[in-house]
Every structure is written in C-alpha cells, then in structure tokens.
Structure 1
Amino acid sequence: MTGLIRSLWSLMERLVPRASSSLLMLLLAWRTSPEIVGLYVWGVLAYTFVGSLTDATMRQLVVSALRSDKGVELIRAYRRLVVVLGPLVLLLFFLVLWLVSGPDHKSAVLTLLPLALGPAFMAVNIFNIGRLQGQHEWRALATGQLVASLAAMTVGVPLVLLLTNPSGAAIGTVLGELVMMLWCWNATRRLEPYTPVKIRSRRLLREYRSMAAYSGLAWGQGQTDRVFVGAVAGGHTLGVLSLGISLARALGDAVAASSANLLRAELASADTAERAAVGRAVLRRGMFLAAATAFLTAAVAKWILSPILGEEWSPALEIVPILSLCVIPSVLSWSAAIYHVDAATGKKALIGPIASIFIALPVATLSFWSLPALAVGVVLREFTLVTVAYFALGPTAPWRSLGQAVLLTSGLFVVVLVVSVAG
C-alpha cells in the first residue's frame, strides 16, 4: 500500500503542471488559430530542449549527488551556470524566430519572452527538489505543484482569454516555476539537516554529461516529428499536430515522469536482492495508470472537446486516441535512464535515442499522407526506443515489463480501432 500511495503522490507531482500546460494550450487554440498555436509551440520546443539538457538531466542525478560533498559542489556549479546560460540561449532563439517570422507574427514572438526566465527558476530549485525526492516527500512535491499550477492558471487563463495571444500561456508557465521554487524552499526548511559524506565522486560529472546527451537525444526522438513538420509543412500543421500531442500525452507523460522519479528513489533504498522485483512493481503500476489515462484522454477528446473546438481542430482530436497509447511504452523508456544510471552505463543509454531519431524522420514524413498514420508511427517508435534501450542494458533490463507493455498497448489499440469504425 505504501508503494501505491507514493506512486499516486509522485503522479500528482508530475501531473498537475502538465495538465496546467495543456489547459493553457487548449484555451489558446480555442481563442486563436493554428498558426498562432504553432508559433507558441516553437517557443515551447526551445524551452523544453533547454530543460532537457539542464533540469531533466540533473533530476536523474541529484538524489545521489547530494550524498557526497563533491556532488553538492557539482549542483552548486550547475546552478550558477544554468541561471545565466539558460535564459541567454532562449533569448537568442527568440531573436532568430522573430527575424524569420512574417510581419503579422513578429509581435506574437515577443509574447514568448517570459519563457526565458523558466530555466533560471528551475536551476535554483534543483537542490530542494533533490532533498525532497531523496526523503520521499512526494506529498510535499505534489502539493507544491498543485499550488504552483493553480497560480499559473489563475494568471494565465484570464490573460489568454483577454489578450488572445501566447503571452498568457508563457507568463503562466514561468509563474508556475517561480511558485514551485518558493514552495520547495519552504518545504525543505522542516527537513532534518544533513551532512554530505566526504568521499570522491569522480563519476558524477561524467554521468551528467552522458545523461545530458541522453536527455537531449530523448527530447529529439520525442520532438523530431514536430520540428520536421513545423519546418516543412508550416505553422498551421504544427499547431494542429501539437494540440493533438498535448491533449494525448499530458496525463500519460505525467505518469511516465512520476514512475521514473519513484523508481529512482525506490532503487536507491532497496536491497540488492529486492531491486529487480521493486523495479517491476513500480513499472507495472505505472503502465496500468498510463492505460487508465489513455482511456480517459480519448473519452474527453471525443465527447467533450469535439463539440467545443472548431472544425479546423478536428484533425488534432482525431489522433488523440492513438497518440495516447504512447504513454504505456513511455513509462518504460523514461525509466530506462534510471537503470542506466544505476548500472553506470550512461554511454550505452545514448544508443536508444540515437536510433529513435533516425526512425523519427521517416515517421514524420507520414504526416504528408495523414496525421493518423503519423500517430501510429509515433507509437511504434516509442516501442523501438524501449527495445533498443533494453538491449543496451542487457539481462538487467526489465524485459517482463516490456512484454506486458506490448500486450496492454495492443489490446487498447484494438479497442481504439473498434470505436473508430463504430463511430
């Protein structure tokens, strides 16, 4: 029961910000056009790319890094660097986007500028995130995310509705990170003081580099289709595809991220003899939660959102049930990095994302045929990533969990086909 409770709190910690982000994009789609949404997506792609190389990477290592004095030094150096470079990189990207945008859209690019502050807030918060995760304070993290997301929506939703441009979504996103930073700082004040062990941690910097490459490539394998579609097919198609992806994966990606967070903490505290069983249990709970969210997402898209959004958004809603199936293999692919860190095989972890990026390019070309075909290709690509990652891990990989994922996804895909034909 304790494991289930931790899973639910960890899920809430990852679910709330994604739900908030998806709501803001949904309202932006309702009040604007696919072209404006596509422009906002370019900003989000840059924002998440920077996050993949910084926050997402450091979260993989922060719990173990806090155990040594060298690890604490690494975290402090990381914070100083990212606070400056993160915003600078985003500002340079927005400048390029402004230069290449048409006259009608240049003002909309300027509304993305608040996003540049996000990486700085996340970098400052990483120390407290690590302390809370390391002590299994999932309830505190989940509550903080709820408060942060409510603050983001309280400000972002009215701005999106009133201004009908991306500024509300951008401000809401950054405000959420700021509130979460303040919440975690306050939550750690009640924790027991700790003293890092004075040992050498020669692997940490090397592992950070390996996992940053892995995280960046993982971002590429997940976003190459949108980058390619946006560059070739234009902002309209990018906006339609991105709304479908946002709706389909908001709940499921939260499950995948929470499972990875929980797996990292559970493996760190498990005995050697119990680690395999503990890992399988965490992944099994994650996959069944992902299946439940896929079903819920498809139902919402079909019976609630279809009557609300205009006809121009119907292609986006059509692919939601298929794309929502991605979240089941995503639970395994997000967690594969944890196993690589645990086995000190960070370099091998790069094989999966590299292979998946090469597959992503031809998969993206399916958008010229139909968006549903692209959606099926994305699901198959997710399973390819998991399979390659597990081959790199070897016999220590949770192969039984992969088999369960294939069976579960296949069954749900049959249900999607039957409902689609009947509807």
Structure 2
Amino acid sequence: MHTQFGDQFRNKRVLITGHTGFKGSWLSVWLKELGAEVIGYSLDPPTEPSNFRLCKLDQKLASHCGDVRDVANLTQVISSSKPEIVFHLAAQPIVLDSYRMPKDTFETNVMGTVNLLEAVRHTKSVRAVVAVTTDKVYADQGWYWGYRENDRLGGFDPYSSSKAMAELAVSSYRSTWQESWSENSDRVTFSNHPVAIASARAGNVIGGGDFARFRLLPDCMRACMDEQPIQVRRPDSIRPWQHLLEPLSGYLCLALKLLEEPEGYSESWNFGPAEREPVSSRSVIEKALKYWGSGRYETSSQPEDGHETPVLRINWDKAAYRLSWSPVYNWEKAIEETVTWWKHYQAMLEKGDDSDDMYRVCADHIQEYVDCARDQGIGWASGGSFQ
C-alpha cells in the first residue's frame, strides 16, 4: 500500500482528533497502513460497540483521551507529540442530538475547532491542518443542484449552524495567519510559524463500523441482524450518499497539497459522490436489503423530530479540477461494501473469538478501494509521484 499518495505519508507524524469515531477510526487504519506515525486525541468511543475498539486501535497507535473543549490538555498533547499534519474530525455529529443538547453541540463544534487552532498556533511542528466539517454548512436555498464552496453558509439546526460557525473560525484563523506572514508584514505576534489550513465538506458518508443512532444504514443493519423491520423516518429524502473512503481519500490528497503549496490550497473543499441523479433513502434501504439477502422496512409512525432539508446535494468540481480527485464507487457499490463489512462483523460475533479484530477487514476494504481507484487511473492510487 506504500505506493499510494507517492509514499509521502510514510514516517510522517499525523494527529487525528476524533480518532475513536467512525471516520476517525478508518482514517487511523488507512494512515497506519501508509506507514504514518499516528497520534489520536479524542473522548472514549461514542458508541458501544465501536469500530475503534473492534479494530483494537488503542494497541496500534498513540491514543490520548481528551475533550477538544479542554484547550490546555489539547495543547499539551499536540505540543508534546509534535505532529506535522493535523486532521480535525472531533465533533458532535448527530443532527437530532443537536436539538437535545444544543449548548454541547456549539461548544464542541465551534470552540473545539477554535481550541484546536489555538493549540496549533503554539506548536511549531504543525505545517498543515485539514478541518472536517459537513455539507450541511450551506444555507438551505431549496436548490436541486449541488452547493459550491463559495455559496452562502447557514444552518437551520444547531448541528448545521455550529459547523457553519466552525467554518467561519477556520477562515478567520487562516486569513490572520496568511496576513501575519505576507510580504512586508510585521504582524508576527499571531504565530511564530506558518500553517496551511483547509476545511473539508463531505456528503452523507456510509460504511462499515458506524454504530451511531439515527443514521440510516446503521439502523438498517442492526434491524437486519435482529430480524426486525427497519423503521425509516423520511424515505423520500435526497442525500449525497458516499462511501466514507471517498472523503478520506480527499482529505489525504488535500493534506499533501497543503504541504506542497500552502497558499494555493488553504481554502474550503467539497468531496461528494459520483451520482448526479438524486438517490433517496428508500433506494438506499432497498439496495441494502438486496445485498443482505433478507429483511423489510416500514415508514416510521413516530412524529417527525426536528427540521431536515428534503434535498441536499454537493458539488465537487473544484476538487476534480484542482486536486485531480474523484470518487471511486457509485452509490450501489458503496452500499455493497457497507453490507459486506457488517456480514464480516456478524460472522465475528458468531465466532465468539475475543482475540479476533476487525482491523484486517478494514485494511482489506481500503486495499480494494485503492485497487479500484488504480484501475480507474486516479492519480493518488497509481504509484510514483503524487500529482
């Protein structure tokens, strides 16, 4: 796997906030497979079970337990671990939970991001930061076409608006950093070292190892394993469904570009799915049941909880043209890979062997994704110099 990304992650010190979460655990596996020295900072896994514990990542990387709202602890960990690259994924990520605990959502998603940037400001080793937000940062304008990076930010619910506010914080820190180090500027009191900062906005990610509540495919897979009908709240909602390895490949591409050309790539970036046509929640469920081989669904009779945008799509033309990035899987392949992971998980449970773990399963899924990308001629997967 070391030919990916021009082998440029090997031996690099990389810190991931939120490494115990769904996307963070997969990013940790991928970076480990790339030969990076991975440091994690996060609270305990947000779910039980969790992909982090199933992969036994606490035994495979330097894992630090901490809250991004604790700026002193966060600064101490980043300062002592001396990473070159930081991926900021720590967040309160559930829309419905943001209605129940809006204050915690704002504190984690906004001030957690500010605290991360403050810690980086005082750590000379850091050269690049990729701050992960969401496609929900855009103000809902009722469009059927994808939102672009320069469209208006907003957010109806506390989760979406907190992520939009995090984007503003990232933009402010980035602008101040660039001004402090611009030619003929004497404003070096902000920081004594330059850092390239980008934000990354992805669609609705799916994949194995997501055990969160109120998410379509995890709820579907749990129901299938329990042989219960799947309760679907909004079967006609349109979302930009994508396998989680799609945005992760984008984050990795972006981090290297930030190292190569800081001023050229310190911006916001969208990473979306291949499909231009709408894909509904109903279509996703029906395809998942086909791959699972059994099960049924029904529309939930529970009253709807909170506001959700009926149609949300994201445009990734900028990443295609400037990062030479593109998605690898279509939505059907993304669902097939997700269901395959859950079948491996079910087999592990039935086997009942505590010495077994899912790390190799995740690594094999990553390798299959890389092989597909290479077959499609995508640059980061093809070996040689990263272009």
- TM-score, normalised to structure 1's length? 0.30
- TM-score, normalised to structure 2's length? 0.32
Which has a greater percent of strand?
2
Which has a greater percent of helix?
1
State the structure with bigger RCO (CA 8 A, min sep 6), 1 or 2: 1
